[in-house]
């Protein structure tokens, strides 16, 4: 298979002021080839705009993913919150279908008073309902991609996501390396540490394409605290060993840059990758 390693920003590039519909012209122009459309505060894109953005991404060979609204909790103590979270994900799937977004990234939820097992049970119940709704709404093309989360209070360790993705069709994980680093108190230091992550995913899920997020991250004992720019050497995880591993193994990976410098750092990441080819 042809190697396909892509880089792009999480949301609108810095300095891009025109219409979102044409954003992929800009992304292509600055040498990037992925874009994560962000519906942070709700899915507001119209079908017409979504179709225009899709056409623009195809013209520019930019791979589009979508980040669902932040306010989602599939294992809330309140049934009403779960219901609303499912609605938001159904709306996201509908928009992702229009956009031809290959992943719908989202954060699964918070444990709150529940044990990890109880929280997972609630999440799985909600996901069953979600998939039924997507089916009955007639949405055809969608892949939900729950993200490894950065706080210990959040559902979303790699093991939990693997469990979810093994339990349902149309589910694959988004690996946020910085979140995994923050959640584990800084465990990612070397190529071997990255290798373990890829080996586990390969053994448990056998993915052909991995969707991922990357940033430098500051953390406390509760997990993630703040995202930092790529050049900040005070914070991990390290980028170079990850890129070396991807290159040496010919993995197909899309890396969405979530540093405060978005597209600017996405270009730095791509430059670094090209340097080691
Ligand atoms: Zn992320």
Using a pLDDT cut of 70, give the percent of the chain over it: 99
Predicted confidence (pLDDT) per residue in 201-257, tens digit:
999 999 889 999 999 999 999 999 999 999 999 999 999 999 999 999 999 999 999
Q: What is the mean pLDDT of residues 55-75?
A: 97
d(CA 182, CA 134): 33
Query: How far does the centroid of ligand 1 lie from the alpha carbon of residue 147, in Å?
Result: 7
CA of 37 relative to ligand 1 center, distance in Å:
13
Ligand 1 centroid distance, CA of 258 (Å): 7
Q: Residues of the chain with pLDDT > 90: what percent?
A: 95
Give distance in angstroms: CA of 71 to centre of ligand 1. 14
| pTM (predicted TM-score) | 0.96
- Ligand 1 centroid to Cα of residue 259, in Å, is 10
Mean pLDDT, residues 151-180: 97
Each residue of 264-274: pLDDT tens digit?
999 999 999 99
Does the pLDDT at position 2 exceed 70?
Answer: no
Say if residue 76's pLDDT is above 80.
Answer: yes
- pLDDT range class, residue 41, cuts 50, 70, 90: confident
Q: What is the mean pLDDT of residues 160-165?
A: 98
Average pLDDT, the chain: 96
Q: Give the integer Cα–Cα distance in Å for 128 and 9.
A: 31
Q: Which residues surround ligand 1, an ion (CB under 5 A)?
A: 176, 213
Give the Å distance between the CA of 179 and the centre of ligand 1: 7
Q: What is the pLDDT of residue 3?
A: 85
Tell me how far the alpha carbon of residue 176 lies from the centroid of ligand 1, in angstroms.
Answer: 5
Distance between CA 165 and CA 168 in Å, rounded? 6
Query: Ligand 1: distance of its center to the CA of 10 in Å?
Result: 8
Distance 33 CA to ligand 1 centre (A): 18
Q: Average pLDDT for residues 162-186, to the nearest whole number? A: 97
pLDDT band at residue 88, thresholds of 50, 70 and 90? very high
The CA 247 to ligand 1 mean position distance, Å, reads 22
What confidence tens digit (pLDDT) does each residue in 107-154 have?
Answer: 999 999 999 999 999 999 999 999 999 999 999 889 999 999 999 999
CA of 260 to the centre of ligand 1 (A): 12
What is the domain partition of the chain in residue ranges? 5-275
Please report the pLDDT score of residue 97 as a whole number: 96
Q: Domain 5-275, CATH 3.20.20.150 — does that match?
A: yes
Out of 20-24, 138-142, 166-170, pick the least confident: 138-142
Ligand 1 centroid to Cα of residue 58, in Å, is 24
Distance 67 CA to ligand 1 centre (A): 9
Q: If you measure from the C-alpha of residue 142 to the centroid of ligand 1, how many angstroms do you get, rounded to a whole number? A: 19
Query: Distance, CA 126 to ligand 1 centroid (Å)?
Result: 22
CA of residue 54 to ligand 1 center, whole Å: 22
CA of 180 to the centre of ligand 1 (A): 10
Q: Ligand 1 mean position to 93 CA, how many Å? A: 18
According to DSSP, the β-strands at 154-155 and 109-110 are antiparallel
């Amino acid at each position: 298979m042809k190697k396909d390693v892509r880089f792009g920003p999480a949301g609108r590039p810095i300095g891009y002021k025109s219409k979102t519909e044409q954003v992929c012209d800009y992304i292509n122009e600055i040498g990037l080839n992925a874009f994560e459309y962000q519906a942070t505060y709700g899915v507001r894109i119209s079908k017409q705009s979504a179709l225009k953005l899709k056409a623009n991404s195809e013209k520019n060979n930019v791979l589009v993913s979508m980040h669902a609204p932040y306010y989602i909790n599939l294992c809330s103590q309140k049934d009403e919150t779960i219901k609303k979270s499912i609605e938001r994900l159904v709306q996201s799937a509908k928009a992702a279908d229009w956009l031809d977004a290959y992943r719908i990234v989202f954060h699964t939820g918070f444990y709150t008073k529940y044990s990890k097992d109880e929280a997972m049970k609630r999440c799985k119940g909600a996901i069953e309902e979600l998939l039924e709704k997507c089916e009955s709404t007639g949405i055809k093309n969608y892949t939900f991609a729950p993200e490894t989360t950065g706080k210990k209070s959040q559902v979303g360790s790699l093991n939990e996501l693997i469990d979810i993705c093994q339990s349902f069709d149309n589910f694959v994980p988004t690996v946020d390396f910085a979140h995994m680093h923050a959640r584990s108190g800084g465990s990612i230091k070397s190529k071997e540490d990255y290798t373990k992550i890829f080996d586990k995913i390969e053994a448990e899920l056998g993915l052909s394409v991995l969707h991922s997020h990357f940033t430098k991250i500051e953390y406390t004992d509760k997990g993630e605290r703040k995202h930092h720019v790529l050049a900040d050497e005070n914070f991990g995880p390290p980028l170079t060993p990850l890129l070396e591993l991807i290159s040496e193994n010919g993995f197909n990976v899309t890396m969405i840059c979530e540093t405060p410098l978005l597209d600017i750092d996405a270009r730095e990441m791509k430059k670094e990758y090209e340097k080691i080819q």
